[in-house]
């Protein structure tokens, strides 16, 4: 005869109480989450509302001016040659238009561009910038990789490292008084300096860029970027099948002045072009 266990009224009451407690906790967590979301949203709105309108407009103007500096350079550069007259004309048109727009808001605007100067291979293009940074992420193919018109410091070598998704270094190049190539097995090859340095053309078969990166997804890092100045151009395709270009030719200072009845602001921002 089978043994049958009957649940007492007390056991059923305890089970129902536990179930009710679970529902109460769940609803409580949902309510707290919604309250926190409302608080964060209200804080964000309050922050934007409390910002001085003049400063807010000035920050927007600064971002727009920096973007237009890059656009002016791209529009004026064809096959590596920059027509600086076209660059100045583009800027003059932009400055005239933006001045008219802001005049309606009661602002007097002045935007000036400095002369182009050399780029350091740091994150922001300046000598004081981060010298160790990721230039390209999750690439599968590189079509162009050149460094040209460069000057290097004799000391710590500027180094390019190509690293795959698991952190394995596939390829490295050091540039100093000579070019040193380190392939994925750790073997070393040295060649004479050239200008430009075409990373896709230097080295024998065991030391070529494509031989060591084929079939991999990888990132490209610059190290000791403050030790070299010049120009670089990298084009390729990412793992998401998107083409990209990462290139820097010059730094250009963009100076913006904004004057109103309530404030007077002025800032100079170094802008790297074209990227």
**Torsion sign across C-alpha atoms 132, 135, 140, 142:** negative
- For 64-79, letters b (16+ CB in 10 Å) and e give ebbebbbebbbebbee
The pLDDT score that the predictor gives to residue 9 is 46
Mean pLDDT in residue range 239-256: 93
The pLDDT score that the predictor gives to residue 213 is 96
The pLDDT score that the predictor gives to residue 12 is 52
**Confidence at 192, pLDDT banded by 50, 70, 90:** very high
pLDDT tens profile 24-77 = 555 555 555 545 455 454 444 444 445 567 777 778 888 888 888 999 999 999
Kindly report the pTM of this predicted structure.
Answer: 0.75
**101 pLDDT higher than 90:** no
According to CATH, the topology of domain 120-241 is Jelly Rolls (2.60.120)
Mean pLDDT of the chain: 83
Domain regions of the chain by residue span: 1-50, 53-113+255-269, 120-241
Sequence-ordered alpha helix ranges (H) in the chain: 9-50, 53-76, 84-103, 209-213
Percentage, residues of the chain above pLDDT 90: 50
What DSSP assignment string belongs to 107-160?
-EEEEEE---BPEESSSSSSTTS-SSEEEEEEEEEEEEEEEEEEEE-SSSPEEE
**177 pLDDT higher than 50:** yes
């Amino acid at each position: 005869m089978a043994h049958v266990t009957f649940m007492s009224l007390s056991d059923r009451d305890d089970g129902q109480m536990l179930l009710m407690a679970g529902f109460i906790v769940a609803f409580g967590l949902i309510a707290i989450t919604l309250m926190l979301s409302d608080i964060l949203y209200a804080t964000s709105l309050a922050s934007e509302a409390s910002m001085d309108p003049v400063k807010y407009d000035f920050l927007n103007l600064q971002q727009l001016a920096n973007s237009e500096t890059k656009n002016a350079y791209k529009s004026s550069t064809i096959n590596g040659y920059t027509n600086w007259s076209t660059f100045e004309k583009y800027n003059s048109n932009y400055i005239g238009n933006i001045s008219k727009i802001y005049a309606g808001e009661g602002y007097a605007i002045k935007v000036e561009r400095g002369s182009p100067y050399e780029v350091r291979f740091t994150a922001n293009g300046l000598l004081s910038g981060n010298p160790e940074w990721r230039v390209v992420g999750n690439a599968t193919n590189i079509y162009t990789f050149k460094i040209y018109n460069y000057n290097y410091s004799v000391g710590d070598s500027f180094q390019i490292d190509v690293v795959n998704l698991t952190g394995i270094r596939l390829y490295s190049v050091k540039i100093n008084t000579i070019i040193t190539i380190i392939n994925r097995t750790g073997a070393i090859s040295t060649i004479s300096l050239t200008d430009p340095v075409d990373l896709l053309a230097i080295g024998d078969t065991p030391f070529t860029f494509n031989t060591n990166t084929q079939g991999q997804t990888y990132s490209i890092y610059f190290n000791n970027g403050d030790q070299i100045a010049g120009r670089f151009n990298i084009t390729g395709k990412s793992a998401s099948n998107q083409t990209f270009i990462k290139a820097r030719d010059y730094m250009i200072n963009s100076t913006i002045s904004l004057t109103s009845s309530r404030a007077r602001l002025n800032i100079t921002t170094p802008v790297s072009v074209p990227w």
